[in-house]
C-alpha cells in the first residue's frame, strides 16, 4: 500500500502543531481515556445525566467520556456501509480512539495518520493491547501527502483535524486516495459565513489551539472542487452545547469552555458533520 515515504513535516507551522501534540498531556484527554481505554481528542454530543454533578468527580469524567464516544459513534454511522475487506483512513488520528471503534464496528483494516510521533507510538500501543495491531495501524504521516496508493481506500474521516490544514490541499489528497463511490465524513467546528467573518470567540479558539477555523462555505467549495458530493450535512451545534456546559463545571476544564459556549450560543460557530461521496 505504501510507496516512498514522503517528508512528513513540511512547514514551520506543521512542526509547531506536531510539537504541541507531542507535549500534550491535558487531563481532559488522559483521564477520560482511562475510563475504558478509548482515547479521544475531540468533543462530545448529547444530553448529560445531571445526577453526575452530585459526585464523586469520577462520574463527571465518565459522563464526558460517554459523550465523546457518542460523537465518534455518530461519525461512524455516516461511513456505512463498510465491509470487513474494506480499508479506512483516519486523517489526524490522535491517540486512536475513533480508529479502534471503527475496527470494532466494521472489522476492517484501519490506518491512522498523525504528525505527532508520540501519538503514533501511543495509539499503536493501544492497538497492540487490544490485539488488533494487524488490522489497526498508526503512522507518522501527513494527511496532506500520505504516500498511500491511489484509489486504495473505501472510507476516510477527519474528526476535528481540518482546522490545521488547507482544505483544498486536503480534499485533493483524499480524492486521490478514495475509490470511486468512497465516502468521506468530517466532523468539525466552522465559523458562520452568515454572521460574517471570525468572531472574537472563534479567534480565541484559534489562538488556544494554534489552528485556523475555516468558514462553513470553505468546506463545500473545497469538496466540490475535488469531486466530492455531500449526501448529509448535520448541524450538531445544539447537541454539543450540553457537553461544554458539563465540561465547564468539571475539574478537567481547560479554560477554553467559555469561548466555545459563547461562539455556539451567539451563532458565530457551528459544530458540523459532513458526509460526502467521491464521484
* Residue numbers at the binding site for ligand SAH (CB under 6 A): 14, 17, 21, 40-42, 92-94, 97-98, 113-116, 119, 142-144, 159-161, 164-165
Q: Cell numbers at residue 32, please?
A: 477520560
Nearer to ligand SAH among residue 164 and residue 269 (C-beta): 164
Minimal distance in Å, beta carbon 124 to ligand SAH? 13
Nearer to ligand SAH among residue 20 and residue 266 (C-beta): 20
Nearer to ligand SAH among residue 40 and residue 66 (C-beta): 40
Cα separation, 115 vs 123, in Å, equals 13
DSSP assigned state of 214: P
Tell me whether the omega of the peptide bond preceding residue 13 falls within 30 degrees of 0, making it cis.
no
Minimal distance in Å, beta carbon 149 to ligand SAH? 18
Nearer to ligand SAH among residue 4 and residue 54 (C-beta): 4
Cα separation, 184 vs 231, in Å, equals 10
Q: Cell numbers at residue 129, please?
A: 493491547
Nearer to ligand SAH among residue 93 and residue 268 (C-beta): 93
Residue nearest to ligand SAH (CB): 94
Q: Cell numbers at residue 41, please?
A: 481528542
End-to-end CA distance of the chain: 22
Minimal distance in Å, beta carbon 2 to ligand SAH? 16
Q: Exposed, middle or buried, 127 (CB in 10 Å: 0-12/13-18/19+)?
A: buried
Nearer to ligand SAH among residue 16 and residue 195 (C-beta): 16
Beta bridge partners of 142: 145
- Total length of the chain: 279
Minimal distance in Å, beta carbon 41 to ligand SAH? 4
Minimal distance in Å, beta carbon 131 to ligand SAH? 21
Q: In what order do the strands lie in the sheet with 153-159?
A: 136-140, 109-114, 87-91, 153-159, 178-191, 269-278, 228-235
Minimal distance in Å, beta carbon 211 to ligand SAH? 8
Amino acid at each position: 500500500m505504501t510507496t516512498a515515504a514522503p517528508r512528513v513535516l513540511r512547514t514551520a507551522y506543521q512542526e509547531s502543531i506536531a510539537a504541541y501534540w507531542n507535549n500534550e498531556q491535558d487531563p481532559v484527554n488522559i483521564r477520560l481515556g482511562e475510563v475504558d481505554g478509548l482515547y479521544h481528542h475531540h468533543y462530545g454530543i448529547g444530553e448529560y445525566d445531571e445526577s453526575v454533578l452530585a459526585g464523586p468527580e469520577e462520574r463527571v469524567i465518565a459522563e464526558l467520556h460517554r459523550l465523546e464516544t457518542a460523537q465518534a459513534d455518530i461519525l461512524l454511522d455516516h461511513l456505512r456501509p463498510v465491509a470487513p475487506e474494506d480499508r479506512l483512513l483516519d486523517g489526524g488520528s490522535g491517540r486512536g480512539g475513533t480508529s479502534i471503534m471503527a475496527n470494532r464496528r466494521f472489522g476492517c483494516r484501519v490506518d491512522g495518520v498523525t504528525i505527532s510521533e508520540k501519538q503514533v507510538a501511543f495509539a499503536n500501543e493501544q492497538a497492540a493491547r487490544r490485539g488488533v495491531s494487524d488490522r489497526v495501524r498508526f503512522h507518522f504521516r501527513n494527511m496532506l501527502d500520505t504516500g498511500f496508493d491511489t484509489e486504495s481506500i473505501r472510507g476516510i474521516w477527519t474528526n476535528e483535524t481540518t482546522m490545521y490544514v488547507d482544505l483544498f490541499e486536503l480534499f485533493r489528497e483524499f480524492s486521490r486516495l478514495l475509490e470511486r463511490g468512497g465516502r468521506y465524513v468530517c466532523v468539525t467546528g466552522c465559523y458562520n459565513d452568515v454572521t460574517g467573518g471570525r468572531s472574537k470567540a472563534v479567534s480565541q479558539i484559534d489562538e488556544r489551539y494554534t489552528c485556523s477555523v475555516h468558514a462553513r462555505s470553505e468546506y463545500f467549495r473545497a469538496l466540490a472542487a475535488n469531486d466530492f458530493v455531500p449526501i448529509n450535512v448535520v448541524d450538531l451545534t445544539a447537541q454539543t452545547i450540553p457537553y461544554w456546559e458539563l465540561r465547564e463545571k468539571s475539574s478537567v476544564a481547560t479554560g477554553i469552555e467559555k469561548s466555545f459556549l459563547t461562539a455556539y450560543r451567539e451563532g458565530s460557530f457551528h459544530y458540523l458533520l459532513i458526509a460526502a461521496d467521491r464521484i
